[in-house]
């Protein structure tokens, strides 16, 4: 019987997309975060992780890792954008994920800019978001 540590080790080191996709269904948020940091995790698993929920801190960290993932395609990034928007509407502050999304050229700047108008966005976030978006080329 695998332990949580076994799942974590696999999530960090595995390269097989089928195994990584199966791991995305694991109930441990630290495994989700390891998957989101693993560059070999396939987009289908990343998209599934965009709906995973545990706690405010874990959710915000996971969304930031997903937004930064090199294999996150536009479908994954739009799913993360939607999850981040929902968190902001709830009054939460996934600010690192917002700023990571602003750096992703795969997303339209206007779609990301709208995050700054949601309930949980602070004036500082709006300022940083505007700066990040202005640096896009």
pLDDT in tens, the chain (137 residues): 899 999 999 999 999 999 999 999 999 999 999 999 999 999 999 999 999 999 999 999 999 999 999 999 999 999 999 999 999 999 999 999 999 999 999 999 999 999 999 999 999 999 999 999 999 86
Torsion angle of C-alpha atoms 42, 39, 106, 56, degrees rounded to 10: 90
pTM: 0.96
**Residue 52 is part of which domain span?**
4-134
Are the C-beta atoms of 36 and 62 separated by less than 8 Å? yes
Alpha helices (runs of H) in 1-122, residue ranges in sequence order: 4-13, 17-23, 29-37, 43-49, 56-68, 74-89, 95-102, 109-113
Structural domain count, the chain: 1
Q: How far apart are CA 49 and CA 63, in angstroms?
A: 9
């Amino acid at each position: 019987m695998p332990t949580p540590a076994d799942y974590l080790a696999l999530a960090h080191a595995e390269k097989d997309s089928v195994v990584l996709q199966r791991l995305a269904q694991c109930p441990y948020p630290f495994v989700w975060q390891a998957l989101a940091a693993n560059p070999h995790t396939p987009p289908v698993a990343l998209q599934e992780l965009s709906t995973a929920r545990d706690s405010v801190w874990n959710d915000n960290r996971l969304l930031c890792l997903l937004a930064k993932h090199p294999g996150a395609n536009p479908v994954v990034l739009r799913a993360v954008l939607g999850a981040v928007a929902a968190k902001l509407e709830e009054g939460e502050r996934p600010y690192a994920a917002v700023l990571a999304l602003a750096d992703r050229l795969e997303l339209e700047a206007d779609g990301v800019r709208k995050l700054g108008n949601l309930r949980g966005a602070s004036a500082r976030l709006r300022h940083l978001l505007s700066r990040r978006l202005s640096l896009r080329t």
